[in-house]
Structure 1
Amino acid sequence: MARSGKEPSNKTKERYDLFVDCYLQTFNATQSAIKVGYSQKTARQQGHKLLTNAYIKEKIQLEMKRLRDRMKDEGLRSFSMLLDIAMQTEGKIQAHNEAEIAIDKIKSELSDLELEMLKANNDLEKVQKAADAIDGRKKEMRSHKRSLLEQIDSIKKEYFEMNLERVVLLNELSKHQSRYLDAKEWEKLQNLKKSIFQDILDRGGFKAIDQIQHSGKVDVNPLANLSEEELRRLANGPRTT
């Protein structure tokens, strides 16, 4: 898998690797961010941001693929299928995290742009009012009125361009919002992912139970009795018509 962008330093890679190791044991980005040194206050935001990092995404996908291949090699087909579902779920969560960052950025840009548009509109009203007050038929006022009319054209052109930029940003926002999960949906997918991985790791014996940090009790798995098809439907969400 090819990565784009600047290659992280060895020291940064060590930090990223520690984050990935912790994340693959807890499936909790916030806890993993705290593990690598972020404060309680910034850990949630930084954890989600780290999950969008190209190096970390590739590392997680590679480790998941290794685990899946190991399951296939050992004949654990059902676990392998569950891992596929969990990875689909992880993909949805990753897309949400990326969308959340992009949405915040676009909203900030829109806010700045709309302030500029408001200022331009106010300037237009002032210049238009000044131009309307001048009798352009008088020779001594023609040049001044012409100058004001040129300003009006310039402001209108600038406003038009800003409005086009606003439309582009709104389209971008809509695209990212389609991948954004509401709090309930996000929590549902997180619980699904944790439950599947917990079940895989515990029952598959890939890690000792006491080496895994669980979000709940080992013997409590609300998804244990669901079929693979039911889990897949849950991961994919409701069908749209």
Structure 2
Amino acid sequence: MNLIRYIDNEFFKEVGEISRFTARFFREVSKPKQEWEEFINQCFWIGYKTLSLVAVTGFIMGLVLTIQSRPTLVEFGAASLLPAMVSISLVREITPVVTSLICAGKIGSGIGAELGSMRVTEQIDAMEVSGTNPFKYLVVTRVLASTIMVPVLSVLAIAISLFGGYLGVNIRGEVSWTLFWYQAFDALSYGDLIPSLVKTFFFGFAIGIVGSYKGYYSQKGTEGVGRSATTAVIVASLVVFILDLIAVQVTDLLGLT
């Protein structure tokens, strides 16, 4: 009983601390003189350096989903619906969520480890002493960069995964380039595209906040740095799933599904 109470207390304490950290982010981002140079640098490292991993994963997702789905549709005589089914599945759910989970693993752990090492080596303390605002320079730039770049990576991953779907369709069958894309886009609507894009902004924001929080308050030397990176991945991935569940419920209530 005491263990359960301790876990509950730690959980709610963590939620409260992250909420305060998020509130501080909004206060800092509303102040003038943003660190645009560091923001652009973080966009490069978060976006460009993650692009190859996201591209390969997106291509494999589209190819595998198409190959695995084809036998079932052929059994029911609905092989012609394969491009439409693949496009809806990839655009609505699979590609945005998987891309965000990849970003949670790479970006979240990277931010956590980087800020954690700066904390334990007292670089953040030195910035405070020198009059620099470390929160604005380190946290705000990274959170903004992840909020913007995760949707961009998700859009690119969707395009690449659909191309993988096209190749998957033509492995066992023969569908022209024009016909595949016509069927794929004809099955989609704004109710599929807009919620899928909007929720990736929240995914990116959550990944940046969690990674920055874990790293910014890292403790206990090098052991704490490793723990910050690990817990950043776990918590960010969990938050992505929770936000996705909320997004599905909201789109369902709005009649967009």
Is the TM value for this pair above 0.5?
no
Higher relative contact order (CA 8 A, sep 6+): 2
Higher Rg of the two aligned structures: 1
TM-score norm. by structure 1 comes to 0.30
